[in-house]
């Protein structure tokens, strides 16, 4: 997705070098629709420059700093030398992330008309600053991450489903609760067995950290940390299912729920 407006002075932009002249370099801005900027020869590199082509080449992807914008004359002045290595690396990664998010939008909304597509994208950007961050938060927190937007329920479901299938985040934490009651003669021993089952009996994947803790009778908390949301959710549900099955084997009762019970419940 390309922005329809203009960049701001001081902003870092990604561009592709389109034309090289003795006086400078013309750059097509990759993030802005139909926008082209000029890097004057004095802004290509520090020091005296004999030949611009010794520093840049046509088709090269570069990160530039916006020096000035004259919308009336449709002129954008850029600098290449004012961008350091760290800024360049960070901006390129951000740009690549947005390209990924563009692809996710296509997956989520294939066939959606341009106006609706743009409206959804703008809501994501408005809520989280970028398309990529919007999908990332949707993968971690689900529809709750976008509850402040005007995106429809069907569109939210499409975003969350696509995000959870495609977004990788370093680690995701999810929490659920299971109520365990055992009035049978096995009593506490049956509860202990159910808790061991919830912990996985040593069969939880290495990349998953699962912990079961006591909240208050008959409630126990299950906390899962995993590399991605889908894995975390699956391990949480499997843990609860194991606990419920184990307590039922003792003629007890088990119930899984996502929110902690209040004292009135």
**Looking at the domain 12-82, which fold is it?**
OB fold (Dihydrolipoamide Acetyltransferase, E2P) (2.40.50)
pLDDT the model gives residue 1 = 67
pLDDT the model gives residue 263 = 54
The answer to whether the CB of 23 falls within 8 A of the CB of 77 is no
> What contacts 41, CB < 8 A, 6 or more positions away?
22, 23, 24, 25, 49, 52
Look at residue 168 and tell me whether its pLDDT is greater than 90. no
Bridge partners of 216?
219
Architecture category of domain 86-166 in CATH? Orthogonal Bundle (1.10)
Look at residue 202 and tell me whether its pLDDT is greater than 80. no
- Class of the CATH-defined domain 172-257: alpha beta
| Spatial distance between the Cα atoms of 39 and 25, rounded to a whole number of angstroms | 5
- At 166 the three-state DSSP class reads helix
Mean pLDDT (the chain, rounded)? 91
172-257 and 12-82 share a CATH fold: no
Look at residue 162 and tell me whether its pLDDT is greater than 90. yes
pLDDT the model gives residue 101 = 95
pLDDT the model gives residue 126 = 93
Ordered by start, the domain boundaries in the chain are 12-82, 86-166, 172-257
- Whether the full predicted model's pTM is greater than 0.75, yes or no, is no
pLDDT the model gives residue 262 = 57
Q: Give residue-wise pLDDT tens across range 109-134.
A: 988 888 888 899 999 999 999 999 99
Q: What pLDDT band is residue 229 in, cutting at 50, 70 and 90?
A: confident
Mean pLDDT of 49-68: 96
| Spatial distance between the Cα atoms of 187 and 252, rounded to a whole number of angstroms | 9
Mean pLDDT of 82-102: 95
């Amino acid at each position: 997705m390309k922005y329809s407006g203009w960049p701001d002075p001081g902003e870092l932009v990604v561009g592709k070098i389109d034309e090289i002249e003795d006086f400078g370099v013309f750059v097509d801005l990759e993030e802005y629709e139909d926008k082209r900027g000029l890097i004057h020869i004095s802004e290509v590199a520090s020091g005296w420059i004999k030949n611009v082509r010794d520093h840049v080449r046509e088709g090269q992807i570069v990160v530039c700093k916006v020096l000035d914008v004259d919308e009336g004359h449709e002129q954008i002045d850029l600098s290449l030398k004012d961008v350091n290595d760290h800024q360049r690396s960070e901006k390129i990664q951000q740009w690549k992330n947005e390209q990924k998010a563009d692809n996710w939008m296509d997956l989520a909304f294939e066939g959606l008309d341009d106006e609706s597509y743009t409206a959804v994208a703008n809501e994501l950007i408005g809520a989280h600053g970028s398309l990529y961050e919007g999908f990332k938060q949707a993968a971690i927190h689900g529809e709750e991450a976008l509850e402040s937007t005007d995106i429809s329920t069907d569109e939210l479901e499409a975003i969350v489903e696509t995000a959870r299938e495609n977004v990788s985040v370093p680690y995701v934490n999810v929490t659920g609760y299971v109520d365990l009651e055992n009035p049978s003669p096995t009593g506490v021993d049956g509860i202990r067995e159910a808790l061991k089952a919830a912990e996985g009996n040593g069969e939880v994947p290495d990349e998953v950290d699962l912990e079961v803790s006591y909240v208050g009778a008959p409630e126990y908390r299950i906390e899962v940390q995993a590399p991605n949301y889908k894995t975390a959710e699956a391990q949480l549900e499997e843990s609860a299912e194991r606990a419920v099955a184990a307590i039922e084997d003792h003629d007890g009762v088990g119930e899984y729920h996502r929110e902690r019970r209040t004292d009135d419940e």
